[in-house]
């Protein structure tokens, strides 16, 4: 099995790269998706979050009110640490479970948005960074996601710098150009990943 960490700044196009890799045969483990799953109604994760933050972080239907929780934790580093201490181990356990189910010869792509920020590169056999210039990221966030420029800039500023991400990369996918320029690059990355997996 080859364990690959995939990361990139907001608006860099990481989701498109992971979609292409899955199309070639990779097994995708999406940290963001798992983080949502582990706090769905009826889970021990949601019960622990309610214990820590109170019932005010729930919607009327019993689901997690993410904006309400965000308002609490992003203004207070200690509260954020409390939330992470609940959610991160659950995400890690579920990721490990999915990895075990993938099979010995699999290329497993871990889509981890904050891989650089959380110092997680050593957990993977190699790291693939989807890279785009800040101007490209900003344009995509405003034009495609409908963010205000101020909000987009704030979200970008809260993440690792382009240089920090590139510094931990084993392979870099340049996604400054159009979609049709992306596919041949990702196909090349897939060829390298399968070569490395076979060599293990």
CATH (domain of 198) = 3.40.50.300
pLDDT in tens, 107-157: 999 999 889 998 999 999 999 999 999 999 999 999 988 889 988 898 898
Half-sphere exposure of 51 (CA within 13 A, CB side): 9
pLDDT band for position 77 (50/70/90)?
confident
Rounded Cα gap, residues 39 and 65, in angstroms: 11
Same domain, 97 and 81: yes
Least Cα distance to 34 among 85, 93, 76 occurs for 93
Structural tokens at position 79: 């509260």
Domain boundary (44, 78, 104) is at 104
Residues 6+ apart with CB under 8 A from 185: 173, 174, 175
> H or E stretch including 128?
strand 126-131
CB count, 10 Å around CB of 135?
9
Domain that holds residue 184: 1-26+106-200
Rounded Cα gap, residues 1 and 168, in angstroms: 21
Structural domains of the chain, count: 2
Same domain, 189 and 110: yes
Same domain, 55 and 78: yes
Q: What is the mean pLDDT of residues 48-71?
A: 94
First to last CA, the chain: 8
Say what the pLDDT of residue 65 is: 94
Same domain, 100 and 188: no
Phi, psi for 78 (deg, rounded to 5): -70, -40
Same domain, 86 and 122: no
Domain boundary (48, 74, 104) is at 104
Is residue 74's pLDDT more than 80?
no
Going by the DSSP 8-state scheme, the letter that residue 167 receives in this structure is H
pLDDT in tens, 159-172: 899 999 999 999 99
């Amino acid at each position: 099995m080859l364990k690959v960490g995939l990361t990139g700044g907001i608006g860099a196009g990481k989701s498109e790269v992971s979609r292409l890799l899955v199309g070639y045969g990779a097994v995708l483990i999406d940290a963001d998706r798992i983080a949502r799953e582990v706090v769905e109604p009826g889970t021990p994760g949601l019960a622990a979050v309610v214990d820590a933050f109170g019932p005010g972080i729930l919607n009327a239907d019993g689901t997690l009110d993410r904006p309400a929780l965000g308002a609490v934790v992003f203004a207070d580093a200690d509260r954020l640490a409390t939330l992470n201490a609940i959610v991160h181990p659950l995400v890690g356990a579920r990721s490990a479970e999915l990895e075990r189910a993938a099979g010995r010869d699999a290329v497993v792509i871990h889509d981890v948005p904050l891989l650089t920020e959380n110092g997680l590169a050593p957990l993977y056999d190699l790291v693939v960074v989807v890279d785009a210039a800040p101007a490209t990221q900003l344009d995509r966030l405003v034009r495609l996601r409908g963010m205000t420029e101020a909000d987009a800039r704030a979200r970008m500023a809260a993440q690792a710098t382009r240089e920090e991400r590139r510094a931990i990369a084993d392979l870099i996918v340049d996604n400054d150009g159009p979609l049709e320029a992306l596919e041949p690059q990702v196909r090349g990355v897939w060829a390298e990943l399968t070569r490395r997996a076979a060599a293990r």
